[in-house]
Every structure is written in structure tokens, then in C-alpha cells.
């Protein structure tokens, strides 16, 4: 892009790139290394970068220790329910948004942008009060509801893009052949939408899986806590030897999003999802 740089220029570029790789990479290496260290190496005076006797003991411990295992199951339940519900609710609306221009649709998208401005504190207190009134505070169902609403705006935006990519002519052709609106949707549109549906479901799964604040405030019973909340509580009761299972649990908690990002890599690097997943 800048033409051929001089040799010193090139060298400087590699020095800078190395700096970035160290800054970005070493903390990750440290997490992985801690997760595989046996307790003795965790408490030794001068820790090493690579474990001398790597072990999977921490993973076993993280899982069998009731709390993390149960928390992972809770997270799985909540995230799956959020993903399925989000898609079911967003599907009809995204079709309408893509095929017909309505003021309502524009208003919905405007709301998405506006709502970014407002801190969660303003939302969480009324939501907490509403859920308590209908008896859904401190339940997974209540949390799922919040996650669906939270994922919905972006899910709508994403899905309607996929609908737009289905040529309108296909629907018109089916209509000429005498298919009803519903038949067209079921037999023409939905099958072609499959990749979009998968992407949307994955997105809402991940945002529920990673979410911390609402789960922290809305679930009071420890048995109901999701993985991020349980991990965060683990941090409080540290002792150096506990770091191993904590790191192992954290690593496992990252896997779903890593898979999602690998799946979305191409879209991400093309920048089309750039504003999508809030950091």
C-alpha cells in the first residue's frame, strides 16, 4: 500500500508487529499455561511460562467441583433457550423489514442505536421490578426474556440482511405457480435462510453465554447462577492453588465464542459485522 519501504522501514515494521504479538498473545499463553499447571507448580516461588509437568487435573477439578459444572449447565440452558426464542421471534419481523419498508422498521433500527447510549443501570432497576411483579425475578425464564430482548435488535438487523439476499423473483415465480404466501415462506424462503438462521442463533447464543451484568443482578440463588457469575465469584476466594481450576474453567467458558468467531471469521474480516458484537 505504501509502495516498497526501505530496509530499516521493514525492520521497524517487524519490531512493531512483534510488540503487538507479545502484548496480545502472552496473556493468552499465560492463561493456557496456568490451566495446565499442577498445584505444586502454581505455588512455586518463581512460576515458569511453560508447565514442567502439564496435567489436565485442573479441568477435571473445574468440572467435577459441583459449582462450575452446574453453572455450565445453567449457562447452556439459558443460552440455548435464548437462541431458539430469538430466532423464532425475529424471523417473521425480519422478513417484514426486508420486504416492506415501514416507518415502524426505521423506528426499530433507530431505537437500536439510541439504546446504546443508555447505561444498564437505567434499564436494570425497572426490569428487575417488572420481573418481580410477574414472578420471574430470580428465574432462568426471566433472564432468557431479557437476553432475547437484548439480542433482538441486532438479530433483526442481521436476519433481514439475509432475507434481502434471497432474490424476490424466486418468491414471485412460486406465487405465479399458485403457491400461497405461507407455502412460499415455508418452501422457498426458510430453506434459503438456513445459514442466516444459524448465524443469528449463534450470535444470540454467544451474547447470552458471555453476559454477566443481568445474570449477576437478576439471579440471587447460587444454584441458578450462570458460568460468568460463578467464575467471577471464584475470583473472590482465591488462594494461589485455586488459580489452576479457575484458569481451566475460564478456558472452557471461552470455547463457544471461539468456535463462533472461527465460524464468522470471513464476515468479520470483511468488516460487515464490524459493529456487531459489543466488546
Partner 1 sequence: MTTVAERPDVARAEGPRAARSRSDRMGIYLLLLPSLLPIVVLSVFPLLRGIYLGFTDARAGRNVEVSFTGLANYRELLGDELFWNSFKIGLLWAVGVTVLQFVLALGLALLLNQQLRFRGAARVLAVVPWAMPPVVVGILWKLVYHPDAGLLNEFFHRVGADGLRTNWLGDFSTALPAVIIVGVWAGMPQTTVVLLAGLQGVPRELHEAAAVDGAGTWHRFRNVTLPALAPVIVAITSLDFIWNFNSFGLVYVLTAGGPGGKTMLPMLFAYEEAFRYGNYGYAAALGNAMVLIIVALLAVYLRRRLREAN
- Shortest gap between Cβ of 208 and partner 1 (angstroms)? 11
How far apart CA 5 and CA 7 sit, in angstroms, is: 7
Of 84, 130, 188, 197, the one binding partner 1 by CB under 8 A: 130
- State the binding string over 27-66 for partner 1 (x if CB under 8 A, else -): xx-xx--x-------xx-xxx-x-----------------
Instruction: Specify whether the CB–CB gap between 215 and 225 falls below 8 A.
Output: yes
Q: Closer to partner 1 by CB, 156 or 174: give it.
A: 156
- Shortest gap between Cβ of 76 and partner 1 (angstroms)? 14
Does 261 sit near partner 1 (CB under 8 A)? yes
Does 258 sit near partner 1 (CB under 8 A)? yes
Instruction: Specify whether the CB–CB gap between 86 and 152 falls below 8 A.
Output: yes
- Shortest gap between Cβ of 191 and partner 1 (angstroms)? 19
Does 11 sit near partner 1 (CB under 8 A)? no
Instruction: Specify whether the CB–CB gap between 147 and 82 falls below 8 A.
Output: yes
Does 23 sit near partner 1 (CB under 8 A)? yes
Of 40, 50, 110, 115, the one binding partner 1 by CB under 8 A: 115
Measured over the CA atoms of residue 111, residue 116, residue 121 and residue 122, the dihedral's sign is: negative
How far apart CA 219 and CA 142 sit, in angstroms, is: 9
Q: Hey, what's the cell of 219?
A: 439471579
**CB under 8 A: which stretch of 61-69, 76-84, 112-120, 188-196 binds partner 1?**
112-120
Query: Over the Cα atoms of the chain, what is R_g?
Result: 24
Of 8, 126, 178, 191, the one binding partner 1 by CB under 8 A: 126
How far apart CA 265 and CA 199 sit, in angstroms, is: 12
Instruction: Specify whether the CB–CB gap between 247 and 68 falls below 8 A.
Output: no
- Shortest gap between Cβ of 137 and partner 1 (angstroms)? 12
Amino acid at each position: 500500500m505504501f509502495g516498497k519501504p526501505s530496509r530499516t522501514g521493514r525492520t521497524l515494521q517487524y519490531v512493531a508487529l512483534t510488540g503487538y504479538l507479545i502484548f496480545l498473545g502472552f496473556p493468552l499463553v499465560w492463561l493456557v499455561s496456568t490451566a495446565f499447571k499442577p498445584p505444586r507448580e502454581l505455588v512455586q516461588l518463581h512460576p515458569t511460562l511453560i508447565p514442567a509437568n502439564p496435567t489436565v487435573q485442573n479441568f477435571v477439578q473445574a468440572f467435577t467441583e459441583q459449582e462450575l459444572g452446574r453453572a455450565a449447565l445453567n449457562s447452556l440452558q439459558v443460552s440455548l433457550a435464548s437462541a431458539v426464542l430469538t430466532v423464532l421471534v425475529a424471523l417473521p419481523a425480519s422478513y417484514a423489514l426486508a420486504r416492506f419498508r415501514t416507518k415502524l422498521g426505521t423506528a426499530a433500527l433507530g431505537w437500536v442505536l439510541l439504546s446504546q447510549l443508555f447505561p444498564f443501570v437505567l434499564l436494570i432497576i425497572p426490569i428487575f421490578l417488572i420481573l418481580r411483579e410477574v414472578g420471574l425475578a430470580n428465574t432462568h425464564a426471566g433472564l432468557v426474556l431479557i437476553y432475547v430482548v437484548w439480542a433482538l435488535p441486532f438479530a433483526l438487523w442481521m436476519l433481514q440482511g439475509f432475507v434481502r439476499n434471497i432474490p424476490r423473483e424466486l418468491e414471485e415465480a412460486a406465487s405465479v405457480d399458485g403457491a400461497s404466501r405461507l407455502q412460499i415462506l415455508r418452501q422457498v424462503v426458510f430453506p434459503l435462510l438456513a445459514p442466516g438462521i444459524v448465524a443469528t442463533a449463534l450470535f444470540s447464543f454467544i451474547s447470552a453465554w458471555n453476559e454477566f451484568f443481568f445474570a449477576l443482578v437478576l439471579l440471587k440463588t447460587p444454584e441458578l447462577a450462570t458460568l460468568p457469575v460463578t467464575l467471577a465469584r471464584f475470583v473472590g476466594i482465591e488462594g494461589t492453588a485455586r488459580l489452576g481450576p479457575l484458569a481451566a474453567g475460564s478456558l472452557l467458558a471461552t470455547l463457544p465464542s471461539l468456535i463462533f468467531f472461527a465460524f464468522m471469521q470471513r464476515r468479520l474480516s470483511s468488516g460487515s459485522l464490524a459493529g456487531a458484537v459489543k466488546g
